[in-house]
Structure 1
Amino acid sequence: MLDATEIEALFTREDGAFAFARWGRPIAPIVFGVTDDTLSVVKGALEAVMVLSGHRMAETDPELGSNLMMFFFRDWDELRDVPGLDRLIPELASLVARLTSVEANQYRVFHFDPEGAIKACFVFLRMDADLSAVPAETLALSQTVQSVLLWSDTAFRSRSALAVAGEKTILRPDIAALIRAAYDPVMPAVAQDPSHALRLAARVGQMQ
């Protein structure tokens, strides 16, 4: 299992700031740019992570309609043509230019409520050769896990949140335990103090 130091690192950004947040409202997802078969895989991953966390899904969000939006596409410029997306992400034009310049193949944008809990997440996946080679189940689970908490921008840079068990790709047991602890009702939805990692580690230990 992860110790407090390892947990702290998962929520400490490259600039040294500690920032933890979980969803503060039910997740109402919508997925763009996939076939029906892939859509069912993505929804299956979402449902599995929701069962794990104890958090809820909903058909609609009263403020946004859908608050977890996943976009699968071939070219970043395609985002410029999505109706209304520039209202949800005012910096869309500059973001597209920046992601295009570095040849990025994925990006996530989080929005937060006044208390700092996650209220929306936009997941952008440019299906280049690398992402297209990833099995749909693996890609769906990875993106869902990375959207369920405000992880550090370096959290899974050196080690994936997933693991291989036989012929299946699964969520690492230590990451699964951490997600369960993070969504425990006794834990706060938002924290900026690194001491929160100690509380998470203790909660993980109590759940074993």
Structure 2
Amino acid sequence: MYDVAPLFTRADGEYVFARWGRPIVPVVFGVDDATLAVFKGAIEAVVTLAGHKMDETDMELGANLMVFFCRDWDELLAVPHLDKMLPELGALVGRLKAAEANQYRIFRFDAAGAIQAAFVFMRMDEQLAQAPADTLALSQAAQVILLWSDRAFAEVPPLAMIDGNVVLRPEIGDVIRAAYDPVLPVAARDASHALRIGARMP
């Protein structure tokens, strides 16, 4: 059986799993229409793989998956109302600049522990600028469909090149599909949950 537990076990040894508990409503800022279509297509493909749903609007938040592209982290400070959604924005921008990071994801959770919203920030440095839009889109879509551990993809990325096409690694696709089994909980803190996912994989 594939060892699922490391994908949701944090560096401190804690097992933390969460999936979306509501339909995903994405919005992408800072890109042209062509790139926007690529991102929405990738998100839709991963959501379909999971057997989850998308929607036109979130009754509570409007959009609940927000993707921001920028050239410099300071640009985020000028985004209207973003600091109201993320009160820690100022401190976060400082940390991202200090770390010279080029991407970051923040999740919000509902009372049941399910993912309620996600914010994806992409700073288009030289490395990201060289990556094809479909690769960036599929990678980010895969990394927000579940709450993966902080080191899940530190050594092996979620994507692979098969027959000249960038695709989700088959085992990662299987984990996503199994994790959204309606019988399984939307959130878990016990590593035995990983065995239940593994048992549902091919």
TM-score, length basis structure 2: 0.98
1:1-208 equivalent positions in 2, closer than 5 A: 3=2, 6-204=3-201, 208=202
Post-superposition offset of 1:50: 1.3
Post-superposition offset of 1:148: 0.4
Runs of 4+ displaced beyond 6 Å: none
| 1:141-161 deviation digits (Å, cap 9, x = unpaired) | 000000000000100010011
Kindly provide the amino acid, as one letter, of the partner of residue 8 in structure 1. Answer: A
SS in 1 for 2:54: coil
| 1:50-71 deviation digits (Å, cap 9, x = unpaired) | 1100100001101100000000
Kindly provide the amino acid, as one letter, of the partner of residue 141 in structure 1. Answer: L
Kindly provide the amino acid, as one letter, of the partner of residue 139 in structure 2. Answer: S
SS in 2 for 1:107: strand
TM-score, length basis structure 1: 0.96
C-alpha separation in 1, matches of 2:71 and 2:158: 25
C-alpha separation in 1, matches of 2:96 and 2:44: 30
| 1:114-173 deviation digits (Å, cap 9, x = unpaired) | 110000000000000000111100000000000000000100010011110121100011
RMSD: 0.7
Post-superposition offset of 1:174: 0.5
SS in 2 for 1:101: helix
C-alpha separation in 1, matches of 2:8 and 2:25: 24
Q: Give the % identical residues.
A: 60
- Aligned positions, number: 202
SS in 2 for 1:95: helix
SS in 2 for 1:60: coil
C-alpha separation in 2, matches of 1:178 and 1:159: 15
C-alpha separation in 2, matches of 1:102 and 1:175: 28
C-alpha separation in 2, matches of 1:90 and 1:16: 28
